[in-house]
Amino acid sequence: MKAIIPVAGMGTRLKPHTHTLPKVLIQVAGKPMLAHILDELKAVGIHDVILVVGYLGEKIINYVKNNYDFHVDVVFQEELLGLGHAIYLAHEFVQPDEASLIVLGDTIFDVALGPVINGNYSSIGVKYVEDPRRFGVVLENNGFIESLVEKPEKPVSHQAIVGIYYLKNSGLLFSCLKELMEKNIRTKGEYQLTDALNLMLQNGEQMTAFPVEGWYDCGKPETLLQTNRDLLARTGTKSPALDNSSIIPPVWIHNSVQIKDSVIGPYVTIAKGVTIDHSIIQNSIISDHASVIRMLLTESLVGDHAVVKGTFHRLNLGDSSELDLD
């Protein structure tokens, strides 16, 4: 079986961080978002990974090769023509009778993958959502998927497609993707994986849906910070001893940091080589080798090597005065 991980996107919604760092290498709860996914794959014994890379792809390839002993194949998606197109590019590395596990590179899951990849049918990860209009959804009948609908106007189903797909018949997957491209079948201008999956269903592929317990989006600053909170709440605190500083759990702090006279937490990730002095930080992600001096920070993303310096205020404030620095 091959795991196909598309990571060619620009990560536009996470600018300015993605000007220099691919989205999937941004830190969340102690490691890059891609590492959360790769660790899950490793845990279920998957060793063959195909990365579909584009913008800043070399950084992703180097990260995976330096940190994992997977067999890694790489394809470049030069034009962002959609997820369906990205997956199609992986066809040269997958045998038609081999299974494919497709996992989006920017979504972290909490799911028992073992039963899925050992199951009898192709299977698509889903999660109940109250308002399905922003999502692709699956329609089921008698335990099998009948069809997939992108962003339904009417709530035909609440089972949203979360971005993890186990497809037993890679030959059929790639021939359906090829058909989309040959016939130029696009939805919202892009070749969609969902359209190819519907073609697979029409060709008789039997698919089930499997529930995904945790589904953590990292695509926007707000969702990245929410995912940081959720994962830290799940994994608890990790921190070295700090110099004259306090921690409010949960936090994740790399061993190599220099933190003094500060209060860190809750929900803070502090990556390697960071310096923090006289600061209070909550609900934030501070990336590699950044410095934060004399700051009060919340809901903040501070990029690699960034320097943030605040100041103490000197006040001479009379009785019953009101000063709001909000």
Q: Which residues bind ligand UTP (CB under 6 A)?
A: 6-13, 23, 52, 77, 80-83, 85-86, 104-106, 219
| Nearest-approach distance from CB 225 to ligand UTP, in angstroms | 15
Evaluate whether 227 touches 29 at the Cβ level (below 8 Å). yes
Q: Which residue is nearest to ligand UTP (CB)?
A: 9
User: Nearest Cα to 165, choosing from 120, 255, 111, 104?
Assistant: 104
Q: What is the DSSP string of 228-272?
A: HHHHHHHH--B----BS-EE-SSEEE-TT-EEES-EE-SSEEE-T
| Nearest-approach distance from CB 252 to ligand UTP, in angstroms | 23
Which C-beta is closer to ligand UTP: that of 6 or that of 132?
A: 6
Give dist(CA 287, CA 293) in Å, integer.
Answer: 14
Question: What does the block give as tokens for 119?
Answer: 């199951």
| Nearest-approach distance from CB 131 to ligand UTP, in angstroms | 18
Alpha-carbon dihedral 246, 250, 256, 260, rounded to 10 degrees: -20
Question: What does the block give as tokens for 218?
Answer: 């990292």
| Nearest-approach distance from CB 282 to ligand UTP, in angstroms | 26
Which C-beta is closer to ligand UTP: that of 81 or that of 247?
A: 81
Which C-beta is closer to ligand UTP: that of 13 or that of 158?
A: 13
| Nearest-approach distance from CB 122 to ligand UTP, in angstroms | 20
Which C-beta is closer to ligand UTP: that of 72 or that of 247?
A: 72
| Nearest-approach distance from CB 166 to ligand UTP, in angstroms | 17
Question: What does the block give as tokens for 51?
Answer: 């990365």
Which C-beta is closer to ligand UTP: that of 223 or that of 282?
A: 223
Which C-beta is closer to ligand UTP: that of 13 or that of 47?
A: 13
Question: What does the block give as tokens for 171?
Answer: 């030959």
Burial of 61 (0-12, 13-18, 19+ CB in 10 A): middle
User: How many Cβ atoms from other residues are within 10 Å of residue 158's Cβ?
Assistant: 15
Which C-beta is closer to ligand UTP: that of 6 or that of 265?
A: 6
First-last CA distance in the chain: 54
User: How many Cβ atoms from other residues are within 10 Å of residue 86's Cβ?
Assistant: 28
| Nearest-approach distance from CB 292 to ligand UTP, in angstroms | 26
